[in-house]
Structure 1
Amino acid sequence: MENFFETQLPKTFGADVRDFLADRLIKIFNANNRDINTIKPGQVLWNAVHKDTKSGAHNMKLVPIVLTLINDDDITKLENGLKMPEHRQNVVARMLEEAFSQDALLSMRDVSLLLCTSSSYASYMRKVYETKHNVTLPHPGNIQDVGNCITHKYQIIYKCVVEKKSPLKVAREINHSMRAVDRYLRDFNCVKTLYLDGKDEHYINFVTKISLRVIDQYIDIINQYVKGLDVAL
């Protein structure tokens, strides 16, 4: 690659720039080129949005990921009587978790295309699985706070404040780092302090830079479960 720049564009780049560009291009190629031999039967290669992409971003960063549609364990369970609706729920959950483990997020539209169903039914299967197993699966609706989902920040605070779970356990359940959970708890305490001091949500938004949507959900928790109680986080 460096030789290409040197021979084809000899007067355009210096040696250091050629070396840098060659290294970057090779890294980009390797990141987006998956060896077909690493994909097992029943798996599919899919491009998904990187989990750190901001919602509404014009230039979305896509990453190639491998998702498992069916495997030997699935077939065994189906042969032993597992019902198809439960199997589909398991597949949805597995794909969402596989995507997140590869630094990506699958939307319900992605899931619907992969499973040849509607986005609404894909969302329904996800919710049924989450309720049944008392977990929160990673997807844009709760990681990036898009759509009509309750924000993942609300879910974290609810579990810590109302359900009185440890931050470490909540981090595992919500697929978040401890650093993120600690940050949300600090934000919640800021909102709680200002709100109980009589400040409205617009003032709180101005001071803390937390979105009004999240502030409103934090205030909902405060009004329902915290007001009048000596709750410290």
Structure 2
Amino acid sequence: MKRDYYRRAFGPSRSKTYETSLFNLIQSEFGYIGGPDVVKLFVQKICDLNHEYYKRAEYVRPGEMRYLALKAGQKYSRGKKLREMQLVPVTLTVVAPEDIEDRVNRLPRKEGMKKVTARLLREAKAQGGLLSETDLAIIFRVSCTAVSNYVLEYEEEHGVVLPRPGSEMDMGKTLTHKKLAFQNYKKKLPTSENARLIDHSPDSVDGYINDGTRVEKLYEAGYLEWEISFFTGLPGYVVRQYVETIEGFKKKEDEQSR
């Protein structure tokens, strides 16, 4: 019974599309030019032409919004303020057909929010921008803590690192991409697969692995974390993440050997 309620309440929203508006316009303004199937084919042809002649960045579809994101690829330093960094406009799909389908099928709200969070972060990255968790908190009208939970749980469940300033530009201490790259290396995943999982280039992955192996050799030689930081030039919190990975794998090896 409840499922029928959700289908009645949210199902009709699937028809709130540009295609529906065009279909109704043709039928009401141009008279009879064929049955519904003919009109639908006509609508599809027009939509195909729209997609061919207009680039996505030049118009916004229903359910989308324009937003300013940090430009990807720029260098970040601790003394640099947000107003001093380059921005780039991106188009974000805030409401997609799949979101309506999820409501119809009663997907738990948190699961839906995790999917939307991942989609927006990836859409921004594909357009040369990076959304922060603060950006998403503003868009969703929720707390930064809630967004952080969506991100971390999605990453844990799917074994990926979502693109955001903390993971792409080393802003703050969000360095899970380095930790995950080293973890994947320890699991003997090839560099190509490793790079795909963390959404970084193979060269970047090799760099993270080289840092991790340097930390590992010094740690196993008995050096303290602050000494490893001094010898490698890596920040202390980066060294700590590598050490956590090393200790985790060492513990697993010890348990398996018993």
Normalising by structure 1, we get a TM-score of 0.72
Aligned positions of 1:202-213 closer than 5 A: 202-213=226-237
User: Aligned pair 1:107/2:132, yes or no?
Assistant: yes
Q: How many residue pairs are counted as aligned between the two chains? A: 194
Conserved in 1, the CA contact under 8 Å of 2:161 and 2:176?
Answer: no
1:208 and 1:133 map into 2 onto residues whose CA distance is 31
Distance verdict in 2 for CA 1:124–1:220, change over 3 Å:
closer
Q: 2:194 aligns with which of 170, 179, 184?
A: 170
Identity between Structure 1 and Structure 2 (%): 33
* Displacement of 1:123: 1.4
Bigger Rg, structure 1 or 2: 2
More helix by share: 2
Q: Which residue of 1 aligns with 2:150?
A: 125
User: Aligned pair 1:157/2:182, yes or no?
Assistant: yes
CA deviations 1:177-233 (Å, max 9, x no partner) are 101001111122222233333444444333332222212222333344259x8xxxx
2:69 and 2:57 map into 1 onto residues whose CA distance is 18
Distance verdict in 2 for CA 1:133–1:206, change over 3 Å:
closer
1:81 and 1:222 map into 2 onto residues whose CA distance is 41
2:143 and 2:229 map into 1 onto residues whose CA distance is 37
Question: Relative to structure 2, which stretch is displaced further, 217-226 or 56-65?
Answer: 217-226
Secondary structure of the residue that 2:160 maps to in structure 1? coil
Question: Greater relative contact order (Cα 8 A, min sep 6): structure 1 or 2?
Answer: 2
Instruction: Give, as a single letter, the amino acid of the residue that structure 2 aligns with 1:46.
Output: Y
User: Aligned pair 1:72/2:93, yes or no?
Assistant: no
Q: Which residue of 1 aligns with 2:115?
A: 90
Gaps of 5+ in 2: 1-54, 254-258
User: Aligned pair 1:183/2:210, yes or no?
Assistant: no
Secondary structure of the residue that 1:131 maps to in structure 2? helix
RMSD: 2.6
Distance verdict in 2 for CA 1:148–1:214, change over 3 Å:
closer
User: Aligned pair 1:141/2:166, yes or no?
Assistant: yes
Distance verdict in 2 for CA 1:35–1:97, change over 3 Å:
closer
2:62 and 2:126 map into 1 onto residues whose CA distance is 20
Q: Which residue of 2 aligns with 1:15?
A: none
2:111 and 2:244 map into 1 onto residues whose CA distance is 34
Instruction: Give, as a single letter, the amino acid of the residue that structure 1 aligns with 2:217.
Output: T
1:193 and 1:132 map into 2 onto residues whose CA distance is 31
2:158 and 2:240 map into 1 onto residues whose CA distance is 28
Aligned positions of 1:25-40 closer than 5 A: 37-40=58-61
Instruction: Give, as a single letter, the amino acid of the residue that structure 1 aligns with 2:203.
Output: R
Conserved in 2, the CA contact under 8 Å of 1:143 and 1:151?
Answer: no
Conserved in 1, the CA contact under 8 Å of 2:64 and 2:94?
Answer: yes
Instruction: Give, as a single letter, the amino acid of the residue that structure 2 aligns with 1:48.
Output: A
Q: Which residue of 2 aligns with 1:41?
A: 62
* Displacement of 1:145: 3.6
2:189 and 2:120 map into 1 onto residues whose CA distance is 27
CA deviations 1:123-150 (Å, max 9, x no partner) are 1222232233332212223333444545
2:136 and 2:240 map into 1 onto residues whose CA distance is 30
Secondary structure of the residue that 2:149 maps to in structure 1? helix
Secondary structure of the residue that 1:39 maps to in structure 2? coil
Conserved in 1, the CA contact under 8 Å of 2:57 and 2:91?
Answer: no
Instruction: Give, as a single letter, the amino acid of the residue that structure 1 aligns with 2:201.
Output: S
Gaps of 5+ in 1: 1-33
Conserved in 1, the CA contact under 8 Å of 2:166 and 2:174?
Answer: yes
Distance verdict in 2 for CA 1:141–1:35, change over 3 Å:
closer
